[in-house]
């Protein structure tokens, strides 16, 4: 590392990907920043999302070592001189990154940012640099890389919350839960008495179920293979459940909604289920896909759409979810299980095995009340 500029360097600890499927190793790294448009956030907690796990599964040696994590929450320790809306000591939830200058961003739809993929999956800043370069590791995943004791973020992906709120509990609102609820509220705009089927009752699916209940959708059908998750779906707002291990899913849905459903939300990414989601639609219905793909055949008169971040503006939608939670309408806390940061590999394993719906890693060892 001779000859490198080590001014403004902070020592951090981060869970680093160095091999496909892990394990993740917690290592000492060097983070340079903040830049003028960045803030340094001390991580209090972060959710573990299936997007993190899928990145771990797809990792290749050519990707080099990386720091994942994109449902971070923490406290600002330092802010660059161009950061106007935040100051040290602010409590923030982090969400996806966007450029702020393209047509999508300027129209108030940051999830449609022209550089969305680059800024969230490119492991670099807008200008192509990397704050973890001194360690030979890539960061800036979703503009945060929250599997670390400190993060670099911008005004575009930080959401300020009251210091009186349980910061660690709210951490997972920045991605999966926002995506599920946002798909129902923002993108599909499901209305009272419109029917919906949710395929997969992980964090995204359960968030969609809760949002469907709030809109007055009926019936709200939850489909999964996990009995415990289906039971939770009923408690969180589903009117019907279908265990795909025990039932013919198509026949079960047709029994509940003979003409098909108005909307289906597919969260599993499994090709047979992706096709089933669109096949179960009534004429004029819409299937929403969260995993980036589409079924092989979309019947005429039906529509398939891709969900990106719930078509949400985080600075507006995350406070809405918090208000729903405080009012007892959005009990997302029921799907959370806390782990110490050092237990990150156990959290990943438990998520994959379905033992935990939404793992949240704690960095200060304190479980929020």
Supply the pLDDT for residue 293. Answer: 82
Q: Encode 8-28: b = buried (16+ Cβ within 10 Å), e = exposed.
A: eebebbbbbbeeeebebebbe
Confidence band, pLDDT 50/70/90 cuts, at residue 230: very high
Residue 46, pLDDT > 60, answer: yes
pLDDT recorded at residue 296: 84
Average pLDDT over residues 112-116: 95
Per cent of the chain over pLDDT 70 is 97
Give how far the C-alpha of residue 19 lies from the chain's centroid of Cα atoms, to the nearest Å.
23
What integer is the mean pLDDT of 275-291? Answer: 96
Q: What is the pLDDT of residue 294?
A: 86
Give the tens place of pLDDT for each residue, 167-207. Answer: 999 999 999 999 999 999 999 999 999 999 999 999 999 99
Q: What is the pLDDT of residues 307-341, one digit of tens each?
A: 999 999 999 999 999 999 999 999 999 999 999 99
Rg (CA), the chain: 20
Percent of the chain with pLDDT over 90: 93
pLDDT at 366 > cutoff 90: no
* 3, pLDDT greater than 70: no
Least confident of 141-145, 252-256, 267-271, 291-295: 291-295
Q: What would the mean pLDDT of 128-155 be, rounded to a whole number?
A: 97
pLDDT band at 368 (very low <50, low <70, confident <90, very high): low
Q: Specify the DSSP element, H or E, that contains 47.
A: strand 38-47
Q: Is 4's pLDDT higher than 60?
A: no
Q: What is the pLDDT of residue 369?
A: 56
Predicted local distance difference test score (pLDDT) of residue 1: 42
Mean pLDDT of the chain: 95
Mean pLDDT value of segment 208-234: 97
Distances (CA, A) of 112 to 74, 144, 160, 205: 26, 19, 22, 22
Q: What is the structure's pLDDT at 205?
A: 97
For residues 137 and 12, the answer to whether their CB atoms sit within 8 Å is no
| pLDDT classification of 2: cutoffs 50, 70, 90 | very low
Strand 261-266, strand 281-289: pairing: parallel
pLDDT reported for residue 7: 60
Q: Is the pLDDT of residue 5 over 90?
A: no
Tell me the pLDDT tens digit for each residue of 79-95.
999 999 999 999 999 99
Identify the band that residue 292 occupies on the pLDDT scale cut at 50, 70 and 90. confident
Nearest to 40 by CA among 90, 97, 5: 90
Predicted local distance difference test score (pLDDT) of residue 187? 96
**Cα–Cα distance, 166 to 316 (Å, whole number):** 19
Burial (CB < 10 A; 0-12, 13-18, 19+), residue 245, is: exposed
What is the mean predicted confidence (pLDDT) over 7-30?
Answer: 95
365 pLDDT band, cuts 50/70/90, is confident
The pLDDT of residue 159 is: 98
């Amino acid at each position: 590392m001779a000859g490198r500029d080590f001014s403004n360097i902070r020592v951090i600890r981060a869970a680093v990907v160095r091999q496909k499927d892990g394990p993740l190793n917690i290592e000492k790294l060097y983070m340079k920043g903040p830049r003028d448009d960045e803030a340094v956030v001390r991580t209090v907690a972060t959710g573990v999302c299936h997007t993190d796990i899928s990145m771990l599964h797809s990792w290749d040696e050519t990707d080099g070592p990386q720091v994942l994590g994109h449902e971070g929450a923490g406290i600002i320790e330092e802010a660059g001189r161009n950061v106007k809306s935040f100051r040290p000591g602010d409590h923030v939830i982090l969400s996806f990154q966007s450029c702020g200058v393209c047509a999508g961003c300027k129209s108030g739809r940051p999830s449609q940012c022209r550089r969305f993929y680059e800024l969230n999956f490119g492991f670099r800043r807008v200008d192509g640099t990397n704050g973890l370069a001194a360690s030979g590791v890539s960061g800036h995943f979703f503009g945060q890389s929250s599997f670390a004791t400190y993060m670099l973020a911008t005004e575009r992906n930080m959401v300020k919350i009251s210091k009186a709120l349980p910061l660690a509990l709210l951490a997972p609102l920045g991605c999966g839960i926002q995506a599920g609820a946002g798909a129902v509220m923002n993108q599909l705009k499901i209305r009272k008495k419109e029917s919906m089927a949710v395929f997969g009752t992980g964090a995204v699916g359960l968030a969609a179920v809760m949002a469907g209940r709030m809109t007055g959708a009926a019936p709200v059908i939850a489909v999964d293979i996990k009995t415990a998750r289906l039971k939770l779906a009923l408690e969180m707002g589903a009117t019907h459940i279908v265990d795909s291990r025990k039932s013919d899913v198509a026949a079960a849905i047709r029994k509940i909604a003979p003409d098909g459903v108005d909307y289906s939300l597919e969260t599993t990414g499994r090709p047979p289920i992706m096709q089933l989601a669109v096949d179960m639609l009534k004429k004029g219905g819409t299937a929403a896909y969260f995993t980036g793909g589409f079924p092989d055949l979309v019947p005429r008169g039906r529509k398939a759409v891709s969900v990106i971040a719930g078509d949400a503006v985080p600075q507006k939608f995350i406070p809405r979810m918090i208000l729903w939670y405080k009012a007892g309408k959005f009990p997302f806390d029921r799907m959370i299980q806390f782990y110490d940061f050092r237990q990150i590999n156990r959290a990943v394993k438990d998520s994959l095995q379905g033992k935990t719906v939404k793992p949240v890693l704690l960095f200060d060892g304190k479980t929020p009340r």
